Amino acid sequence: MGLEGIVTVEKIRAAINASLSGLSNSNATITITKNDGTTSTITINNVANATTATTATKLGSSTVGSGVRAIYLNAGTATASNSTVGDSTTPVYLKAGTITACDASIGSGWTVSEGSAGWARENSTGFTIQWWVGNTDATYRSINFPRSFSTLYYANVIATSNCETFVTSVSNTSISFTLCNGYNDDRWSGSQPCRLYACGLT
């Protein structure tokens, strides 16, 4: 930029500065006072006196829902669902517009029922492992699976080291077997600790 350009810019700045002698505001109005004594006002719409304006309501300014109640916007208002959904470790999702708890806890694709007669089920495929631990007291013995299979892949029962197990029938709901003395093949008719293992789809 040449010297003439710098001088021109300075002249424009001086003219702008000289044309305005004051700037003031009152509530929503800004007033510009020029050097010739005239004024111009600008009104900013929808702005109330900032010192007395009502504080806007914020999401989270009050307690909504709980650890097991989902919240949603109802006409712009944060609202708790009408019923308890899930728990502290189970996420929820919308199923055809209804807030629904997932089948399994966060971080796990398995649902497990613990105990001496229990099962562990992989939720996406239905693959299930089942077990049973206890005493059987009949000559012809039968154990009901803790939950029914839709497809059974494998099932077996074991007893103590001096007993032989012979499975006589198996279905999607139970397994039947006999026990024989491992030394002489005589039928074992007394109480005997047994363990069941089975796997399939449920």
**Over the stretch 102-133, which tens digit does the pLDDT of each residue have?**
765 555 588 999 999 999 999 889 999 999 99
**Is the residue at 125 inside a domain?**
yes
How many domains in the chain? 2
| Judgement on whether residues 127 and 88 belong to the same structural domain of the protein | no
**Is the residue at 36 inside a domain?**
no
Residue-number span of the structural domain to which 90 is assigned:
71-101
170 vs 9, more confident: 170
Please, which residues bridge with residue 135 across strands? 193
| Judgement on whether residues 85 and 130 belong to the same structural domain of the protein | no
* Angle (CA) 110 115 120, round 5°: 20
Residue type, 116: S
| Judgement on whether residues 117 and 151 belong to the same structural domain of the protein | yes
Q: Which of 146, 179, 145 is nearest to 162 (CA)?
A: 179
- When pLDDT is averaged across residues 54-77 and rounded to a whole number, the result is 62
H or E stretch at 10: helix 3-19
**Is the residue at 53 inside a domain?**
no
| Helix (H) and strand (E) counts in the chain | 1, 15
pTM for this predicted structure: 0.48
**Is the residue at 49 inside a domain?**
no
**Is the residue at 143 inside a domain?**
yes
| Judgement on whether residues 92 and 123 belong to the same structural domain of the protein | no
Burial 61-80 (b: 16+ CB within 10 A, else e): eeeeeeeebbeeeeeeebee
- Domain end among 101, 120, 154: 101
Read off the pLDDT band of 85 (50, 70, 90): low
| Judgement on whether residues 122 and 183 belong to the same structural domain of the protein | yes
- Domain end among 83, 101, 119: 101
| Judgement on whether residues 153 and 175 belong to the same structural domain of the protein | yes
Q: Is the pLDDT of residue 195 over 60?
A: yes
According to DSSP, residue 5 is labeled H
Q: How many residues does the chain have?
A: 202
Q: Is the pLDDT of residue 75 over 90?
A: no
Please, which residues bridge with residue 30 across strands? 25, 42
pLDDT at 117: 96
- Domain end among 81, 101, 121: 101
